[in-house]
Amino acid sequence: MPSFGTVLSPIGEIGVVSDGTAIRRVTWRSDPPARTDAETDAEPDPLLAEALDQLTAYFDGALREFDLPVDLGRQTDTTRAVLLALYETVGHGETLTYGGLARRSGTEVPARGIGAIMGANPVPIIVPCHRVVAGDGLGGYSGGAPGQGLATKRWLLEHEGALPTSLF
């Protein structure tokens, strides 16, 4: 039975969905998914509480690496390989190009395809798709409040020290 919680952050209210064994979703949606009466009476989810605590610590600058089980949901083998390569090999404060991630994942996906896979990431921030950049700039980002994707990506990369803090 999924549990939902939120954490306030400098980039908006972050919603987290847990099934009790893994984090299944991280969104900028602040409205919880529809619940049944049985779910409303459910016991607190310790994994959800831990995820919210870790996200709070990350945004406070006290956490550099998440230690949470994630469930990427139904994905193709290629998408799963790319997301796992990102999760397992690109650390806090690092960036990697779309093409570099394609090579690192061992897939034949072109850079544009990697961008589409990043957009399909169900657990952004924890699986750090914001760390994947274009060879000539930031690239795109579908996270954040509507219309704030690149500003959100820039904030996350500045927060991690991968980009110098913007003067404006």
81: left (phi over 0), alpha (psi -120 to 50) or beta: alpha
Residues 6 or more apart in contact with residue 50 via CB below 8 angstroms: 68
Q: Which among 9, 107, 108 has a CA at the least distance from the CA of 57?
A: 9
C-alpha 119/C-alpha 143 separation (Å) is: 8
What's the residue count for the chain? Answer: 168
Paired with 5 in beta bridges are 16
Paired with 134 in beta bridges are 137
Sign for the CA dihedral angle at 148, 150, 151, 155 comes to positive
Q: Among residues 129, 132, 133, 156, which one is catalytic?
A: 129
**Catalytic residue status for 129:** yes
Q: What token pair was written down for 66?
A: 């998440």
Check if the beta carbon of residue 84 is closer than 8 Å to that of residue 59: no
Q: Hey, which residues are catalytic here?
A: 129
